[in-house]
């Protein structure tokens, strides 16, 4: 029995048809999945910038533990390292020149307060400090004003002499600034000077004051201003 001759053209056409059918069976489901958003698809992930711009409601803005800033001290530009002050016991945060102040939260009477004592030499100077005080019983700006200027207020009890007062202040939390001076005991002519800031946050009034010998002004004032400029209250 003789085998029939098979036309090569028929064989080639048949193989081409089989290959095309196989490719169609493989690619058609994949094409459908890419257009339908099925698990086979690969949606774009959020970019790093999108993630960085996302904030979680109720969380405080991020604050680094330390920063370095340029500061003009006694006419000379220097770099100063700041340390974040963020104890849970107080309702605010700020940055403090790390090598120049020591904090003291031992209590300041009938209220919540803290002092940052000037200590550029490493030793606490009790005659130079920044103090913040939030009285328990006084809630309004007028209450704080009376607490400072009343007959038995802070100014009278410490024998501080009022020099000036203004409501033009760069700190957003401050409502009024009172500057004062005090004749120090001992050497004639030596003065202590400072300022008292009456502030308010969310309807709660408080005061912040600075106190230092007049001869400290060039070094103390720019350093203490850093604490006041960075004062932020918790949400």
Please tell me whether residues 47 and 91 are part of one structural domain: no
**What span, in angstroms and rounded, lies between the C-alpha atoms of 132 and 128?**
14
Please tell me whether residues 46 and 127 are part of one structural domain: no
Assigned domain for 192 exists: yes
Tally Cβ neighbours within 10 Å of residue 210: 23
pLDDT at 142: 95
- Distance from chain centroid for Cα 76: 27
Please tell me whether residues 198 and 152 are part of one structural domain: yes
Query: Among 89-98, 100-109, 226-235, whose mean pLDDT is lowest?
Result: 100-109
pLDDT-derived band at 49, boundaries 50, 70, 90: very low
Q: Which one, of 200, 208, 196, lies nearest residue 116 by Cα?
A: 208
> Residue 128: which CATH number?
3.40.1000
Please tell me whether residues 21 and 129 are part of one structural domain: no
| Structure-model confidence comparison of residues 158 and 13, the more confident one | 158
pLDDT at 214: 96
- Listed as own residue / partner, the contacts of 82-87 with beta carbons closer than 8 Å and 24 or more positions apart are 82/226, 82/230
Whether pLDDT at 75 is above 50: yes
Whether pLDDT at 187 is above 80: no
pLDDT-derived band at 138, boundaries 50, 70, 90: low
pTM for the predicted model, two decimal places:
0.72
Assigned domain for 17 exists: yes
Please tell me whether residues 38 and 104 are part of one structural domain: no
Strands 125-135 and 204-213: antiparallel
| Structure-model confidence comparison of residues 208 and 42, the more confident one | 208
Please tell me whether residues 180 and 139 are part of one structural domain: yes
pLDDT-derived band at 91, boundaries 50, 70, 90: confident
| Structure-model confidence comparison of residues 8 and 199, the more confident one | 199
Assigned domain for 117 exists: yes
pLDDT at 109: 62
Q: Mean pLDDT, the chain, as a whole number? A: 79
Please tell me whether residues 190 and 135 are part of one structural domain: yes
Rg (CA), the chain: 36
* Residues spanned by the domain of 94: 86-233
pLDDT at 89: 83
The values of phi and psi at residue 150, to 5°, are: -65, 170
Please tell me whether residues 30 and 90 are part of one structural domain: no
């Amino acid at each position: 029995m003789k085998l029939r001759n098979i036309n090569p053209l028929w064989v080639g056409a048949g193989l081409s048809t089989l290959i095309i059918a196989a490719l169609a069976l493989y690619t058609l489901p994949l094409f459908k999945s890419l257009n339908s958003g099925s698990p086979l698809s690969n949606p774009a992930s959020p970019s790093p910038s999108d993630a960085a711009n996302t904030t979680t409601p109720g969380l405080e803005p991020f604050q680094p533990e330390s920063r370095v800033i340029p500061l003009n001290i006694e006419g000379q530009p220097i770099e100063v390292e700041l340390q974040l002050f963020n104890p849970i016991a107080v309702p605010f945060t700020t940055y403090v020149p790390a090598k120049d102040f020591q904090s003291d939260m031992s209590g300041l009477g009938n209220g919540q307060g803290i002092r940052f004592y000037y200590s550029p030499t490493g030793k606490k100077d009790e005659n130079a400090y920044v103090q913040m005080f939030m009285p328990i019983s006084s809630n309004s700006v007028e209450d704080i004003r009376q607490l400072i200027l009343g007959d038995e207020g802070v100014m009278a009890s410490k024998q501080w002499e009022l020099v000036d007062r203004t409501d033009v202040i760069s700190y957003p939390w401050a409502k009024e600034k009172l500057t004062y001076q005090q004749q120090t005991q001992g050497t004639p002519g030596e003065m202590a000077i400072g300022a008292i800031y009456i502030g308010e946050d969310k309807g709660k009034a408080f005061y912040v004051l600075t106190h230092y010998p007049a001869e400290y002004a060039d070094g103390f004032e720019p350093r203490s201003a850093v604490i006041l400029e960075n004062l932020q209250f918790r949400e």
